[in-house]
Amino acid sequence: MTFLPIVETLQGDITGYIQTNIISITDGQIYINASLFREGFKPAIDMGLSVSRIGSRVQYPGIKDVSKGLRLEYAQYREMLRLTKLRTRLSKEAMEKMWRGEILQELLTQPHNQPISAEEEMVLFYAFKRKALEQLAPAELKKFKESFFSYLIQEQPNLVKAISEKKELTSEIAAELDKVFIDFFKMVAEEMKKANRPANAL
């Protein structure tokens, strides 16, 4: 039997009798957070409280590998974001964790009606897992998210084909991706340098 129960909570409380019983008999739940909605994060899915009990069983091996720990890391970022509103100064370590959380949020945010492929998802989150994005400026991060996979298709079509066929990132594929990351970041750095150069510069 397939059904989609929708339950309203009182002030976000999911421990009530109806809520807990619905959770216990379904294969997971999507929790919509009113605070996230007010912040403009749509769909306002709370990844800390949303659960899928069968999702990992049907995922590609590559998706499963690169997504390990993302849910927890994002939940920790959201908690840090809430706590830092009470502070004006942060330690270097806290700032680094916040920036990593912002990167993750950027990767999780998709433009309206522009879904991405499983192959692109694997590549983007591999870059995050590899910590290849943490030295980028916000503009460079946006450029990476919007342009890297198109660049990869253009420069390494056989690599994209291998990812699509194997459904995972083998050590050989990962090594080739690392090389393409370096080439792409060099290209972006050059473009940024040219964009910031004065008009009368040689």
51 DSSP 8-state letter: E
Does the structural domain 59-194 have CATH classification 3.40.50.150?
no
The pLDDT tens digits for 123-172 are 999 999 999 999 888 888 999 999 999 999 999 999 999 999 999 999 99
Question: Residue 200 — very low, low, confident or very high, per pLDDT cuts 50/70/90?
Answer: very low
3-state secondary structure of 13: strand
Going by pLDDT thresholds of 50, 70 and 90, the confidence category of residue 37 is: confident
Instruction: Outline which parts of the chain fall under CATH 1.20.150.20.
Output: 59-194
**Nearest Cα residue to 74 out of 48, 41, 52:** 48
Strands, DSSP E only, in the chain?
Answer: 28-29, 51-52
Catalytic residues: 53
% of the chain exceeding 70 in pLDDT? 95
CA angle 107–111–114, rounded 5-degree value: 105
Question: Does residue 104 contact residue 70 with C-beta atoms inside 8 Å?
Answer: yes
pLDDT digit string, tens, across residues 74-92? 888 988 888 777 666 778 8
What pTM did the predictor assign? 0.82
Q: 113 φ, ψ to 5°?
A: 60, 30
Residue 24 in this model has a pLDDT that exceeds 80: yes
